Structure 1
Amino acid sequence: RWFLCTAESMPLDREVSFVALDEGQLGADPERGHVFTDRILRARGRDETMILGSDSLRPVLRKLVPEAEIVTRPRFSTLSYAGAKKLSRLPKRSAIVAFSAEEVYAVAEALRRLRGGAAVVMGALSPRTRNAQVAMFQAGEVDYLVATDAIGMGLNLDVHHVAFASLNKFDGRRQRRLTVAEMAQIAGRAGRHQRDGTFGALVEEGPGAFTPEEIAAIEGHRVPPLEHLYWREGEPDLTSIDALIASLERKPDHIMLRAAPEATDLMVLKRLAAEDWVRDRVRSPRAVARLWAACGLPDFRKLGLDPHTRFVSRVFRHLSEARGHIPHTWFADEIARLDRVDGDVESIAGRIAAARSWAYIAHRADWLDDPAHWADRTRALEEKLSDALHASLTQRFVDKRTTVLLRQIGADASNLPVVIGAEGEVTVEDHPLGQLRGFHFEVSPDARAADKRMLLAAAEKGLAPELRRRAAALADAPNAALSRVGAEVHWQGSRVAHLDVTANPLRPAIRLCRTLDVLNPRERNAALARIAAWLDARIVADLPDLATLDALSRDAQAGSRVRALAGLLVQAGGLMPRRAAGALVEALDPDDRKLLRRAGIVIGTLDLFMPGLLKPRVAAARRALLNLGDGATEGASVLHRTAPGASLEHGYRPLGQQAVRIDLAERIARAAHDARKGRTPFTPDPALATSMGLTPDTLARLMAQLGFQGLRGRDGQPQRWVWKGLTPLAKPKPPPRDTSMGHAFAKLVALTDD
């Protein structure tokens, strides 16, 4: 009952009651204009004919169709210039217009990063794909639409603002600036009915910016009147090929008409007319009509004139031989080849273009044996590919997670519908944000770098209630739920605090992770108190000697000398070179030493230490407390100098190429003193050093540090040693006196120097 079709496919041979032609001003389009002009002149309804279009068509229409009644319908809404806005500052419900596929894709990619994505509309898309993209925009799934000038025709959208990414386009022949009429046609997509709209550009200056004259013309709907329309003979002479070409090239005889530029169908016709086999087969008006119909096959693929001509030539070869039908096998093979949905946007779009060519062929009643079957088959294929293209465009240019977040954050961030799964997975409306481990939110690994900040911000707002619940659980957590990893405190396997070094390693400063900043002061203090209590309990359990030493440093009954030495040892983690506390050690009286021995402190010849701290398990706990890193192999008495833990802070004294555990070095020291008699030279028993794995060089270095001097013996005899005493500590030099004139006593100092 109704025919809704393009101007090219209007069934002019049918008598109908009513004919309407939309966008009549396209008669001035160099490429399709002659088709619209022909319909303006020849397409008539029995009862009524309506031509819709821009007011620019009025003067031409008066001349060509003087009997037409011209009725003006004013625009109910206002269209105004909103200035230039960067892509990142465009308002929601904006359409951005570009004039090449590459530019459309670039803008859509940018909007995906900035605003979660955009719908894409181009003339090259199939109607089904275009409608699906438009529906996504209309439904509010995305707030932006990027399109070519295809947006200016046949689409009524909920667009508030139209932004021009460029004001230049390639019209098939040259790069040129848009006409005011073209600008107005596109800008007019903003608003509609009684809602006002705005338009603008992405730049303020240069060729991409509007001039004041263009702005005034668009706002005032003052479009320059058309001076002519393009025309080509609508009922060409089909008596012969030459007559057909001549009639198509005939000049119009009306002042308001101009000969249309040579269209693709005419160019293909001329090329085929030059082929002898075509001339041989086309010898009747019916054959000419069939050839002209084949040349009218649209170039959906846009591969260029040569490939399109070869395709049309093959089609016509089949149409002009045997029964005049395209072979079933060729058609079926081509459809099967296109029946794939893999590949990128461009690949799928290319298959759709090819499928549309075959769909066109299938709708020619006399070109196939079973046109109805193949029309259904090509329709199903085009729909399948169109759906795949829509999905591919959406995947490439729409980040639904970002779109959802922006919409939710814009509405009310405090009500962000965050859902936390059993394993800590965080989602918003089924879109994954990341993983919540303890108090630490990890952004989903598939998130792009540009999106991570927004996802973190969304998580901070939406996860606040859950983090407070976890803070309460942390405050009541048993000791087993807390652990230490290096300088970090972990709760249930996730980091919650960092331990900063202080003068007293048993009292590190507890710094909660930034992820706990969302807590209020009371909640933070409760978490800090729980971690501090756990840390104290852990030190008592893992390092009882250090806990005893710490208590001794604060025991008022112990005496100042003992407290001072104990405090130094606490700061050093329970062991230190004797020279570092030389004055304090020398000042100790017998009672002080007895008290220190009861506390487990050894005052050795070279080092002060607590033997219990050198046991493997305790040594590992001590390393963790002091953040010392890797330590020695468990139970090792001697290490290579470059091995992990070969240093005094780990409890090993470096001696040349080896490092000896300090308690074993003290055993050798005591054995040496037991073996000597005063300052008489002696030969120590090498068995002890050998059993420990000390080399002769290491032993010699240790003996020298212990205050013994080696004596050169005869060849073949063991080395002898004599006690010389430890090297006394060097007294610090007094600072040099200032003899400059910079202070009151400078002259007096100078006199005393004389």
Structure 2
Amino acid sequence: MDNPDFKDNNLKAILGPTNTGKTFYAMERMLSHASGMIGFPLRLLARENYDKAVNVVGLDKVALITGEEKIIPKNAKYFCCTVEAMPVEKKVVFLCVDEIQLASDIERGYVFTDRLLNARGEEETLFLGSEIIKKIIQKLLPDCKIETRPRLSTLSYAGVKKITRLKERSAIVTFSIPEIYRIAELVRTQKGGAAVVMGALSPRTRNHQVEMYQSGDVNYLVATDAIGMGLNLDIDHVAFASDMKFDGNNSRKLFATEISQIAGRAGRSTKNGTFGVISDELKFDKDIVQMVENHEFNALSHIWWRNSNLDFSSIKNLFISLEEQPGKNILRKKGNALDFLCLGELSKLEHVNKNKNDKLLIELLWDICQIPDFGNIFSDRHIQLLEQLYSILKDGKIEDDWLKSQITPLSRLDGEIDTLINRISNIRTWTYITNKTNWIKDANLWQHETKKIENKLSDELHERLTKRFVDKKIAVLSKKMNEKIDLEAVIKFDGKVLVEGQEVGYLRNFDFIPEISNDEHSSRILTVARKALPKELDKKVNEFINSSEEALKIDNSGNILWMESSIGRLTKGDNIYTPKIILKNFDMLSLDQKTKIQKKCEESISEIINKTLANCLKLKNLNKIDNDQDDKVVELSSKVKAINFHVFEGLGHTLVKNIPFQIQKINENDRLAIAKLGIRLGVNLIYLPIVLKPKIIKLKAILWSLYNNEFYVDHVPDEGRVNCKFNKTIKADFYFFIGYIPSGHICLRIDIYERLAALVRNEAKKTKFKITEEMLSIAGSTKDNLKNFITEILKYQFLKKDTSESDDEYYFKKTNNNKFKNSRKSKIKKNKVSKFDLNKDSPFYILKSLKS
């Protein structure tokens, strides 16, 4: 043996599967001695058992030693360490190494092998682990007493269960971070959320996530094989989402022992557990299932070894001692460990190699090479850091300013989850460095600073993971339901519905809109919420019934809005003035409540239409009007009634040519009656100016769209505009019914059309005429648009410019067959007028086609 001070007659190995109480036994044995040391495979396990020991014997008697954390009281008797950080040179009565089978691990195994061969307690040495290492121990340590222990509970294979069908207290295991995220998001959607455990997390973040699971805040865990060691969790079932892992060199199938180590997290103490897979493609072979269930595996054939008796007399001799071969076949020499690779890179540097025979500097160089790369990427950046540290430390200690410049940028909390994980990896490296007290001027200060940053980043990462992968509402409510608590629902003044203080949805008028993910608890939660709604809904119905018609709005698609949200929609009715009302299916309302709402909507919508289009509607079937001069009632003539009918049918206007008699021949009394009704008689159009108000135009657009089932309301001209661009994809009669006439490239409001046509007729009395400023002002348009209107619609001839005329003036003259002669002077018979060919862009052509 390398260590002659200790005898092997007090060696003991306790071997068995997970959940056999091995670690509990070791802690009891250590604390029964005057002094002791246990090496754990993980920092979080060392910390967990340190806390347990402190609770038993007190803070001043227990030390914690890991690569990143050292708490060593002056009178410490008991040491909880990571295996790599064990101060094996220190004499203790009791010494233990946990998970000793990790001596077979290709990355860390040589350290466990060294502890197996060389670390000893003065009175008792104990190794804990799996039975697969039994034969190795028997060959290397023939005097070691071996005790095997059975698992305290049964582990059985449950076959295939999809993620959506997994029961609570299940862990889902996969081996890549993207898959962890994908599965965790699926569990959030289907189950309300999951805790996340993976090797890249800091111990603090991992503990926070584990605590969230253990406390029942979430009932599912998504993890890598990081849960396979040392985490004693209340897991009933382990579901494998993958059977492939990357071992640092290649992607390979899981070994049966690895499956067992991970699956063994299910069922603790005397509670049985199960394991399985999430799809048929992942089904385990029967042989593997039998091995895992019976805890019977092939014994290890070898473990990894590296010489720990190193020669620092020169860099060359250090390499020679590291390359020394083991003396037994069952020991495999570990090559290309991270520290060895770093030594190889640094030894190539001139300023390192010039000190190749300086023992103290070579020991320093080796210490620097052992700084861990927590990102596990062995990058140039890591080598550069080691080079910088060597350059500084060979001449003294690290200056505070340089330390600050390296550490402070890592305290930022911005970025994605992966960015935070990367910062935590970097700060953990600096935590390790600052624990080298002989390297730092004020080690305590910087240990505190790096620990503070790591904790801050870890807490932020925990919050980010929780926010992304946990639906807090479902998590809280699920926990309360598991505690058999009767849930209580309340409705806030703003309509939000809360169950046990968690928002689960909101009332939007008479609808309850759930806002929780659909999982096995959601139906019960929503049932509780709905029980609190009837009283509130009754209040809402009464509030609606007692509201004024102004409380209802109609949007551009014909939806009926109350308090800014839809309660139903309008659809085509018997005529354009009377659309039908279809309410939404309010499944939480009674038939009586729905009937009242329907009636209120019908009354309010009718009132809105009747008030807005009162001047149109009164024309229908109007027989008499009051005479202002003698307070007598005046009977309307058939001609006035005919005009009224056409104006009513046209939503407030019609073409003169639609009237079955000559307008200029109606008598003065009829003209007075028409004027009293607010109707204006034009040369080409008859209209109610009042229906050209923006609010009325908007309602007419909605009514036309509903009646024709073609919605162009979004194309209504802006409020106050007397013209708009003519969109040829929109039916021309839509423009006409809302009060605009297609006039070339633009549409003109009908009153403007009349005024503009009158100005043109007046100017056309001249031999030639041009577009006047008044025309431009009235039309609110350009000369080019008016040119098209005058030539294409009014049919005046455009005159070519001559050199004497201004470049920006257009000139026109009347044509012999001009369509728009003064109707009062025209002697053309009505039946002859109808023989004229109408321009297809003309509104008269459009109206003629509609009538036919």
Smaller-chain TM-score bracket: 0.7 to 0.9
2:275 matched residue in structure 1: 199
Instruction: Indicate if the aligned counterparts of 1:85 and 1:203 stay in contact, CA closer than 8 A.
Output: yes
1:680 matched residue in structure 2: none
Task: Tell me the secondary structure at the aligned position of residue 183 of structure 2.
Answer: helix
Per the alignment, do residues 646 and 262 of structure 1 end up closer, same or farther by CA in structure 2, a change over 3 Å counting? closer
2:588 matched residue in structure 1: 518
2:337 matched residue in structure 1: 263
Amino acid at match of 2:169: R
Looking at structure 1, the residues matched to 213 and 247 of structure 2 have their Cα atoms a distance apart, in angstroms, of: 28
Per the alignment, do residues 660 and 65 of structure 1 end up closer, same or farther by CA in structure 2, a change over 3 Å counting? closer
Task: Tell me the secondary structure at the aligned position of residue 145 of structure 2.
Answer: coil
2:289 matched residue in structure 1: 215
Amino acid at match of 1:259: K
Instruction: Indicate if the aligned counterparts of 1:17 and 1:46 stay in contact, CA closer than 8 A.
Output: yes
Looking at structure 2, the residues matched to 277 and 641 of structure 1 have their Cα atoms a distance apart, in angstroms, of: 80
Of 376, 381, 394, the residue aligned with 1:302 is: 376
Of 456, 473, 476, the residue aligned with 1:384 is: 456
2:231 matched residue in structure 1: 155
Match runs of 1:69-84 below 5 Å: 69-84=145-160
Looking at structure 1, the residues matched to 315 and 793 of structure 2 have their Cα atoms a distance apart, in angstroms, of: 110
Of 1, 4, 12, the residue aligned with 2:88 is: 12
Task: Tell me the secondary structure at the aligned position of residue 52 of structure 1.
Answer: strand
1:189 matched residue in structure 2: 265
Match runs of 1:286-685 below 5 Å: 287-304=361-378, 306-321=380-395, 324-401=396-473, 403=475, 417=489, 419-422=491-494, 424=495, 438-439=509-510, 462=530, 464-465=533-534, 466-486=536-556, 487-514=558-585, 516-544=586-614, 616=693, 620=697, 623=700, 626-627=703-704, 629=713, 642=726, 649-650=737-738
2:785 matched residue in structure 1: none
**Deviations 1:558-616, CA, capped at 9 Å, x for gaps:** xxxxx99999998876878899999xxxxxxxxxx9xx99x9899x9999999698575
**Deviations 1:337-359, CA, capped at 9 Å, x for gaps:** 33322222233222222222222
Task: Tell me the secondary structure at the aligned position of residue 190 of structure 1.
Answer: coil
Amino acid at match of 1:369: K
Task: Tell me the secondary structure at the aligned position of residue 252 of structure 2.
Answer: strand
Instruction: Indicate if the aligned counterparts of 2:701 and 2:716 stay in contact, CA closer than 8 A.
Output: no
Looking at structure 1, the residues matched to 790 and 384 of structure 2 have their Cα atoms a distance apart, in angstroms, of: 91
1:724 matched residue in structure 2: 829
Q: Quick check: 185-194 or 239-248, which moved more? A: 239-248
Task: Tell me the secondary structure at the aligned position of residue 160 of structure 2.
Answer: coil
Q: Offset of 1:148 from its aligned partner?
A: 2.1
Amino acid at match of 2:826: W
Amino acid at match of 2:703: L
2:197 matched residue in structure 1: 121
Q: Offset of 1:185 from its aligned partner?
A: 0.7
Instruction: Point out where structure 1 has 5 or more consecutive residues left out of the alignment.
Output: 554-562, 583-592, 669-689, 702-709, 731-754
Q: Offset of 1:501 from its aligned partner?
A: 1.5
Instruction: Indicate if the aligned counterparts of 1:439 and 1:494 stay in contact, CA closer than 8 A.
Output: no
Amino acid at match of 2:280: E
Amino acid at match of 1:165: A
Task: Tell me the secondary structure at the aligned position of residue 568 of structure 2.
Answer: strand
**Deviations 1:646-672, CA, capped at 9 Å, x for gaps:** 76645778899998969x99xx9xxxx
2:46 matched residue in structure 1: none
Looking at structure 2, the residues matched to 614 and 53 of structure 1 have their Cα atoms a distance apart, in angstroms, of: 92
Instruction: Indicate if the aligned counterparts of 2:509 and 2:562 stay in contact, CA closer than 8 A.
Output: yes
1:685 matched residue in structure 2: none
Task: Tell me the secondary structure at the aligned position of residue 3 of structure 1.
Answer: strand
**Deviations 1:98-148, CA, capped at 9 Å, x for gaps:** 223343334334444544443322222221121122222223333333322
Q: Offset of 1:10 from its aligned partner?
A: 0.9
Instruction: Indicate if the aligned counterparts of 2:613 and 2:691 stay in contact, CA closer than 8 A.
Output: no
Instruction: Indicate if the aligned counterparts of 1:409 and 1:416 stay in contact, CA closer than 8 A.
Output: no
Amino acid at match of 2:567: V
Per the alignment, do residues 510 and 235 of structure 1 end up closer, same or farther by CA in structure 2, a change over 3 Å counting? same
Is 2:295 aligned against 1:230? no
Task: Tell me the secondary structure at the aligned position of residue 83 of structure 1.
Answer: strand
Per the alignment, do residues 475 and 252 of structure 1 end up closer, same or farther by CA in structure 2, a change over 3 Å counting? same
Instruction: Indicate if the aligned counterparts of 1:19 and 1:49 stay in contact, CA closer than 8 A.
Output: yes
Task: Tell me the secondary structure at the aligned position of residue 4 of structure 1.
Answer: strand
**Deviations 1:674-717, CA, capped at 9 Å, x for gaps:** xxxxxxxxxxxxxxxx9x9997997899xxxxxxxx9979xx99
Instruction: Indicate if the aligned counterparts of 1:658 and 1:698 stay in contact, CA closer than 8 A.
Output: no
Instruction: Indicate if the aligned counterparts of 1:77 and 1:197 stay in contact, CA closer than 8 A.
Output: yes
Amino acid at match of 2:217: E
Instruction: Indicate if the aligned counterparts of 2:172 and 2:240 stay in contact, CA closer than 8 A.
Output: yes
Q: Offset of 1:307 from its aligned partner?
A: 4.2
Amino acid at match of 1:495: S
Looking at structure 2, the residues matched to 63 and 320 of structure 1 have their Cα atoms a distance apart, in angstroms, of: 44
Looking at structure 1, the residues matched to 136 and 743 of structure 2 have their Cα atoms a distance apart, in angstroms, of: 106
Per the alignment, do residues 364 and 580 of structure 1 end up closer, same or farther by CA in structure 2, a change over 3 Å counting? same
Of 112, 124, 127, the residue aligned with 1:36 is: 112
* TM-score normalised to structure 1 length: 0.73
Looking at structure 1, the residues matched to 403 and 269 of structure 2 have their Cα atoms a distance apart, in angstroms, of: 47
Amino acid at match of 2:109: G
Per the alignment, do residues 366 and 410 of structure 1 end up closer, same or farther by CA in structure 2, a change over 3 Å counting? closer
Q: Quick check: 518-527 or 195-204, which moved more? A: 195-204
Looking at structure 2, the residues matched to 111 and 389 of structure 1 have their Cα atoms a distance apart, in angstroms, of: 19
Instruction: Indicate if the aligned counterparts of 1:647 and 1:659 stay in contact, CA closer than 8 A.
Output: no
Amino acid at match of 2:285: T
Per the alignment, do residues 601 and 607 of structure 1 end up closer, same or farther by CA in structure 2, a change over 3 Å counting? farther
Instruction: Indicate if the aligned counterparts of 1:84 and 1:202 stay in contact, CA closer than 8 A.
Output: yes
2:57 matched residue in structure 1: none
Instruction: Indicate if the aligned counterparts of 1:489 and 1:499 stay in contact, CA closer than 8 A.
Output: yes
Looking at structure 2, the residues matched to 3 and 53 of structure 1 have their Cα atoms a distance apart, in angstroms, of: 20
Q: Offset of 1:234 from its aligned partner?
A: 3.2
Instruction: Indicate if the aligned counterparts of 1:505 and 1:570 stay in contact, CA closer than 8 A.
Output: no
Task: Tell me the secondary structure at the aligned position of residue 199 of structure 1.
Answer: strand
1:250 matched residue in structure 2: 324
Match runs of 1:129-144 below 5 Å: 129-144=205-220
Task: Tell me the secondary structure at the aligned position of residue 79 of structure 2.
Answer: coil
**Deviations 1:419-470, CA, capped at 9 Å, x for gaps:** 5354x566667776787554467899xx99x99xx99x96996584444431
* TM-score normalised to structure 2 length: 0.65
Of 93, 109, 112, the residue aligned with 2:169 is: 93
Amino acid at match of 1:339: S
**Deviations 1:527-555, CA, capped at 9 Å, x for gaps:** 111222323444454444666677899xx
Per the alignment, do residues 726 and 198 of structure 1 end up closer, same or farther by CA in structure 2, a change over 3 Å counting? farther
Instruction: Point out where structure 2 has 5 or more consecutive residues left out of the alignment.
Output: 1-60, 62-77, 624-640, 661-669, 706-712, 758-774, 780-788, 797-814, 836-852
Looking at structure 1, the residues matched to 725 and 399 of structure 2 have their Cα atoms a distance apart, in angstroms, of: 87
Per the alignment, do residues 650 and 49 of structure 1 end up closer, same or farther by CA in structure 2, a change over 3 Å counting? same
Instruction: Indicate if the aligned counterparts of 1:413 and 1:461 stay in contact, CA closer than 8 A.
Output: no
Q: Offset of 1:289 from its aligned partner?
A: 3.9
Instruction: Indicate if the aligned counterparts of 1:645 and 1:652 stay in contact, CA closer than 8 A.
Output: no
